[in-house]
Amino acid sequence: MVPGELNREGARRSRGLLAAFFMAAGVNHFVKPRPYERIVPPLLEGDAKRLVLISGMAELAGGLGVLFPATRRLSRAGLVALLAAVFPANLYMAQAPERFSKIPRWALYARLGLQPLMMRWAWRATRR
């Protein structure tokens, strides 16, 4: 096997995992919206239901778009923007741990560092 082939195969797998992750998360927004609504920061909680539906649709579209070369670059930009847009929810969770007592405090803080890693994954997996 040529080294470049291994890289292409790894990139294909990474895209597949990225797509599956975001499509599953998007579906989950419709199946179990309450947990997502609870993490919407107080400033936006009046629009929580709508924001959860919009972010779920964005995750579905972004995940699906990753699979096709014609939409991959647009999906990359969309997923990175989506991850940036939902970062305030993760920040809110870390700042109000008493509202999320079922989640270990360390996990609330770990989510903050996970967001940039997810952005990097979305960017790198969709370069080809």
Structure tokens at 83: 């991850």
State the pLDDT at residue 2.
Answer: 52
DSSP string of the chain, one letter each residue: --HHHHHHHHHHHHHHHHHHHHHHHHHHHHHSHHHHHHTS-GGGGGGHHHHHHHHHHHHHHHHHHHTSHHHHHHHHHHHHHHHHHHHHHHHHHHH-GGGGTTS-HHHHHHHHHHHHHHHHHHHHHT--
Residue 40 contacts residue 51 (beta carbons within 8 Å): yes
State the pLDDT at residue 46.
Answer: 95
State the pLDDT at residue 7.
Answer: 82
Could you give the CA distance from residue 4 to residue 1 in angstroms, rounded to a whole number? 8
Domain range annotation of the chain: 3-125
How open is the CA angle 86-77-22, to the nearest 5 degrees? 55
Residue 125 contacts residue 15 (beta carbons within 8 Å): yes
User: Which regions in the chain score pLDDT beneath 50?
Assistant: none
State the pLDDT at residue 11.
Answer: 86
Could you give the CA distance from residue 104 to residue 88 in angstroms, rounded to a whole number? 19
